[in-house]
Structure 1
Amino acid sequence: MTTFPALLGQRLRRDGVQLLLWTVGTALLAYLTYVSVAQAYGTDEARASILAVVMANPVILLFRGLPSGAGEGAFMLFLIFPFLALLAGMMSSFLAVRHTRGDEEIGRAELVAATRAGRQTPLLATLTHGILANVVLAALSAAALTATGLEVRGSLVSGAGAGAVGLTFLGVGLVSAQLMRTSSGANSLAVWTLMLSFLTAGIGNALGTPSNDLQRMESSWLTWLSPFGWGEQTRPFADDNVGPIVLCAALGMVLAGVAVALQSVRDLGGSFVPEQRGRAGAPATLSTPPGLVARLTRPSIIGWGFGGMVTGLLATTLAAVIRDIGADNPALERIIRAIAGGTDMEQATVVVFFTMLGILAACCAVQTVCRARQEETHGTAELVLSGPVDRVRWLASFIVVAFIGILVVIAAALAGAAAGLASRDGDWALLGDMAITGAGQIAAASVFIATTAVIFVVAPRLTIPLGWALVLVSMVLGLFGPLFGFPDWVVRLSPMGVAPIVTSDGVDVKGLWWLIAAVAVGGALALGLMRRRELAVG
């Protein structure tokens, strides 16, 4: 075990910037959400009226937490806890895969295993690294909430609950890395497990039983099948139940033990889920770089497209509900109008949901361009470029497919929106508003294609962390900036904050021409610089 400190230190140094973004970003989100809630829902009456409407429309609980009362702290955690836990889960699962299956793919694990460290010590170092990361996330989140003046015990339970969910998905990531043959496959399995767990908890809450005063929801048994549900059962600032925290942490450790057992019985580089066998003859599309990129990124694009369809469905399904809530609650109406720019309430709801859609489309774009970096580090890009394919054409293929991915996400959202309108016999004029707003989000999301491509060319090692960090910052500024009272010029730094929208007076193009210019300049810069760039495999 003398090599354990060195391996742990290497992981901490390697992930220093990424973990700083994850942990501080999560804590900052908790702090700013409290500030927003205190401003918008400053009275018990305002918070109680929102909870009463939630009980009457439980579909809202699909993307919120478990209502535990109208107290300031309890209400804030009802709004934000699932997202704190989601960030912790994503951080942990990515960390687990990066230092296990990812290291095996690039050959680093084989070199380490040939030393005194063997095969198990690196896995134990990764487990310790993940535990420390979640402890830091929990501590910073608790400190952020305590700094607002909320009770210390409730703040500690809130932070520990999010960190404990992170520990569960640390175990999920470790097991996924043992099961799947590639890091992309392991990440996909972990993320799909995370999202299904998130949705299961939301459905379990929506199927629950409200209290007589409509201030508290007792979730159904389905919630107890999800680690997110366990985290929500802590009910910070209401019950402060620590039992579910122990349950989450225990499951994470059990899964980590399973990962250790699986690794001890498999060959280095092997997996328990075999790679899918290819056809005897490749289709003609694989003879072109865009066709190959489309094949490599197809599963992720389909996944983001499904998320877009759900977002579009919720936009039209909840538009009328939120309009009615806003009529009875001026605070909520101010929030929606602040994000959407002061339009009609139904139009404003569409803008809010399609701002979220723009973030999903940007995630699809960034993941697609980041695949170029993965191909480079895995050595497969070198094989492609050894043929009659130049560097510019190769990178352009990822840019084109990323743009197609954005179109798929937006088109799926419009299909979901149409289904929602048909189900409730809604106003079909909203679909035209959504098409215009969606077109604006295409321009906004395309900015991330250009910026990530430039990062890939100029600083390839930063492609993945910096590409995703820009999406996270843009989400905070564009979606939450108006709620947190950021100045207009700060909100406009986010492409989503300057995308065209539909107002009661027509179409406000806002910063459309700046977005198009940024895409054109960024794309041309990335492709131009790619001509002289050498492959950066390490």
Structure 2
Amino acid sequence: MTIFLALLGQRLRRDGVQLLLWTTGAALLAYLTKVSVAQAYGTEEARASILAVVMANPVILLFRGLPSGAGEGAFMLFLIFPFLALLAALMSSFLAVRHTRGDEEIGRAELVASTRAGRQAPLLATLTHGILANAVLATLCAVALTATGLDIRGSVVSGLGAGAVGLTFLGVGLVSAQLMRTSSGANSLAVWALMLSFLAAGIGNAIGTPSNDLQRMESSWLTWLSPFGWGEQTRPFADDAVGPIVLCTALGMVLAGVAVALQAVRDLGGSFVPERRGRPGAPATLSTPLGLVARLARPSIIGWGFGGLVTGILATTLSGVIRDIGVDNPALEQIIRAISGGTDMEQGTVVAFFTMLGILAACCAVQTVCRARQEETRGTAELVLSTPVDRVRWLAGFVIVAFVGVLVVIAAALVGAAAGLASREGDWALLGDVVITGAGQIAAASVFIVVTAVIFVVAPRLTIPLGWALVLVSMTLGLFGPLFGFPDWVVELSPMGVTPTVTSDGIDVKGLWWLIAAVAAGGALALGLMRRRDLAPAG
């Protein structure tokens, strides 16, 4: 028991800052959404009108929850629950891989296994760690909602529903770590499972059956194939069902049991999915550090690019629909104008979706630069730097590939936007607005490249948690800030809040020149400081 507690304490210390950001971020998002709903949709009639629009255009449900009525609490959870569950799922899957396959990669697991702890105690400590993390997230979300005056039972079900989805993906992460040979492969497998599950829940809701009064949606069978769909079936502040919570928790524990069984029959450092055999001879592109980074980052960039393609399609496909329904729905028009800065409905919809695109591009950028830290902790960076490759050139490779990744995501979105216009025979003049808005997001996402690079140079152990935390904060300020009623100067702290937009009077460049200056200064600072920085081992 003493060894187990020591291992658990070590995990809690390592993840203290990260878990604080994940859990308090989810709770803060829940609290601010409730405040925003109370301000923007203070009457049941306003909420009912939005739900009627959703039923008429169910594609909106791809990114929202399951409508369960026009009550204030139920409506709020319809807007925010998928995002709360998504935060819990990402937190849990990353946690599981970090303390299992990640520790095996850097040799920590082998050292621990050579002691009395053996091989099973670390895995059980990681499982307990994940359970505690989700319990904290569920508790903070429930407290945040209760603090706004909502019903205690519904608040508790909301928090438990999000935490239960997190437990499911804790199990997914543990199993992925057993199957894949590397932590990046395990994380990729877990994230793909997460995104497919998220999409299945959204599609299942979209093809469901609306009630006669257009206030409630009965989802299709497809939703029941997804843990996100199970979480939404709790229907907080309406049905307050606990059965789906038990189902999510049970699946998570079953998957954890599978992970324990798999670990017992494999060698330390081994995997059930073997690495792909390499070519007899390496291609010429791998003879440079830039080519090596591009090869390492290629799968993730392709994944983020696919997300950009879907975002672009939805931006132009839904712009005409939202323009038409906004005429009869002032509440919806208010949302779009708040996010877009006062442009007309069609342009505003493009701005709103491309703000989300900027978040995707920033995620691609941060993940690519964070690979530098992963290479450093695994010891592979030392091998590269033992050749005639200096530190500045090595880091520059990650920065350049991250920028290329941003371009790929934005370009994919532009292709998707053009396809969306072609599919509905839309106004091709809108494509110009799309290009301008997308170009602005390149500058915004590039800020995260250099900021993460500076963190990597100055405080390497904070590279991954702080880099992702900045993306989360920027998303909250840039995407939700206008809806939450934040002052303009607070919203503009997010790079996504000061990107150029198209207005009826022309192009508003906003803070474009500041963004470009920040990118240039940050890049020079990171590369300049890298000259004097020694390699930092894993912490």
TM-score interval (norm. to shorter)? over 0.9
CA deviations on 1:241-284 (whole Å, 9 max, x unpaired) are 00000000000000000000000000000000000111111111
CA separation in 2, counterparts of 1:491 and 1:64? 23
CA separation in 2, counterparts of 1:51 and 1:497? 28
Aligned-partner residue type, residue 338 of structure 1: A
Question: How much has 1:2 moved relative to structure 2?
Answer: 2.8
Aligned-partner residue type, residue 321 of structure 1: V
Q: 2:284 aligns to what?
A: 284
Question: How much has 1:198 moved relative to structure 2?
Answer: 0.2
CA separation in 2, counterparts of 1:484 and 1:214? 26
CA deviations on 1:168-193 (whole Å, 9 max, x unpaired) are 00000000000000000000000000
Question: How much has 1:368 moved relative to structure 2?
Answer: 0.4
CA deviations on 1:366-399 (whole Å, 9 max, x unpaired) are 0000001101111111111111111101110110
CA separation in 1, counterparts of 2:106 and 2:290? 24
CA separation in 1, counterparts of 2:474 and 2:83? 16
Q: 2:33 aligns to what?
A: 33
Q: 1:157 aligns to what?
A: 157
Preserved CA contact (<8 Å) 1:92 1:169: yes
Q: 1:127 aligns to what?
A: 127
CA separation in 1, counterparts of 2:204 and 2:490? 38
Preserved CA contact (<8 Å) 2:340 2:348: yes
Q: 2:495 aligns to what?
A: 495
Aligned-partner residue type, residue 89 of structure 2: G
CA separation in 2, counterparts of 1:52 and 1:334? 16
Q: 1:459 aligns to what?
A: 459
CA separation in 2, counterparts of 1:328 and 1:26? 33
CA separation in 1, counterparts of 2:178 and 2:82? 27
Preserved CA contact (<8 Å) 1:30 1:80: yes
How is 1:62-101 mapped onto 2 (pairs within 5 angstroms)?
62-101=62-101
Q: 2:251 aligns to what?
A: 251
CA separation in 2, counterparts of 1:120 and 1:262? 11
Preserved CA contact (<8 Å) 1:363 1:471: yes
Q: 1:10 aligns to what?
A: 10
CA separation in 2, counterparts of 1:434 and 1:179? 41
Q: 1:174 aligns to what?
A: 174
CA deviations on 1:1-56 (whole Å, 9 max, x unpaired) are 33001000111111111000000000000010111111111111111111111111
Aligned-partner residue type, residue 314 of structure 1: L
Preserved CA contact (<8 Å) 2:50 2:331: no
Q: 2:222 aligns to what?
A: 222
CA deviations on 1:48-76 (whole Å, 9 max, x unpaired) are 11111111111111111111111101111
CA separation in 1, counterparts of 2:293 and 2:415? 25
CA separation in 2, counterparts of 1:454 and 1:142? 36
CA separation in 2, counterparts of 1:46 and 1:367? 40
CA separation in 2, counterparts of 1:141 and 1:416? 36
Does the residue aligned with 2:502 lie in a helix, a strand or coil? strand
CA separation in 2, counterparts of 1:37 and 1:318? 23
Residue 392 (structure 2) pairs with residue 397 (structure 1): no
How is 1:480-491 mapped onto 2 (pairs within 5 angstroms)?
480-491=480-491
Deviates more, 1:264-273 or 1:42-51: 42-51
Q: 1:383 aligns to what?
A: 383
CA separation in 1, counterparts of 2:51 and 2:338? 21
Q: 1:112 aligns to what?
A: 112
How is 1:176-191 mapped onto 2 (pairs within 5 angstroms)?
176-191=176-191
Q: 1:447 aligns to what?
A: 447
Does the residue aligned with 1:267 lie in a helix, a strand or coil? coil
CA separation in 2, counterparts of 1:218 and 1:381? 52
Does the residue aligned with 1:502 lie in a helix, a strand or coil? strand
Does the residue aligned with 2:66 lie in a helix, a strand or coil? coil
CA separation in 2, counterparts of 1:279 and 1:537? 31
CA separation in 2, counterparts of 1:501 and 1:19? 35
Q: 1:209 aligns to what?
A: 209
Preserved CA contact (<8 Å) 2:457 2:529: yes
CA separation in 1, counterparts of 2:331 and 2:216? 21
Does the residue aligned with 2:187 lie in a helix, a strand or coil? helix
Residue 194 (structure 2) pairs with residue 194 (structure 1): yes
Residue 38 (structure 2) pairs with residue 47 (structure 1): no
CA separation in 2, counterparts of 1:386 and 1:252? 44
Does the residue aligned with 2:276 lie in a helix, a strand or coil? coil
Question: How much has 1:334 moved relative to structure 2?
Answer: 1.5
Residue 145 (structure 2) pairs with residue 145 (structure 1): yes
CA separation in 2, counterparts of 1:422 and 1:100? 47
CA deviations on 1:153-175 (whole Å, 9 max, x unpaired) are 00000000000000000000000
CA separation in 2, counterparts of 1:129 and 1:466? 20
CA separation in 1, counterparts of 2:392 and 2:341? 40
Aligned-partner residue type, residue 295 of structure 1: R
CA deviations on 1:115-143 (whole Å, 9 max, x unpaired) are 11000000000000000000010000001
The gaps in structure 1 that reach 5 residues or longer are none
Q: 2:359 aligns to what?
A: 359
Deviates more, 1:329-338 or 1:521-530: 329-338
Q: 1:522 aligns to what?
A: 522
Aligned-partner residue type, residue 149 of structure 1: G
Q: 1:337 aligns to what?
A: 337
The gaps in structure 2 that reach 5 residues or longer are none
CA separation in 1, counterparts of 2:283 and 2:500? 40
CA separation in 2, counterparts of 1:485 and 1:207? 33
Question: How much has 1:325 moved relative to structure 2?
Answer: 2.5
CA separation in 2, counterparts of 1:256 and 1:444? 39
CA separation in 1, counterparts of 2:210 and 2:257? 39
In the comparison of the two structures, how many residue pairs are matched?
Answer: 538
CA separation in 2, counterparts of 1:133 and 1:268? 26
Q: 1:510 aligns to what?
A: 510
CA separation in 1, counterparts of 2:35 and 2:328? 22
CA separation in 2, counterparts of 1:53 and 1:492? 30
CA separation in 1, counterparts of 2:68 and 2:430? 35
TM-score, normalisation: structure 1: 0.99
CA separation in 2, counterparts of 1:450 and 1:502? 27
Aligned-partner residue type, residue 407 of structure 1: L
CA separation in 2, counterparts of 1:288 and 1:432? 38
Question: How much has 1:537 moved relative to structure 2?
Answer: 2.1
Does the residue aligned with 1:3 lie in a helix, a strand or coil? helix
CA separation in 1, counterparts of 2:530 and 2:79? 44
Q: 2:302 aligns to what?
A: 302
CA separation in 1, counterparts of 2:106 and 2:67? 46
Does the residue aligned with 1:423 lie in a helix, a strand or coil? helix
Does the residue aligned with 2:327 lie in a helix, a strand or coil? helix
CA separation in 1, counterparts of 2:38 and 2:329? 15
Question: Runs of 4+ in structure 1 displaced over 2 angstroms?
Answer: none
Q: 1:321 aligns to what?
A: 321
TM-score, normalisation: structure 2: 0.99
CA separation in 2, counterparts of 1:289 and 1:411? 25
Question: How much has 1:416 moved relative to structure 2?
Answer: 0.5
Preserved CA contact (<8 Å) 1:313 1:416: yes
CA separation in 2, counterparts of 1:500 and 1:8? 47
Preserved CA contact (<8 Å) 1:40 1:332: no
Aligned-partner residue type, residue 266 of structure 2: R
Q: 1:268 aligns to what?
A: 268
Aligned-partner residue type, residue 398 of structure 1: F
Question: How much has 1:360 moved relative to structure 2?
Answer: 0.5
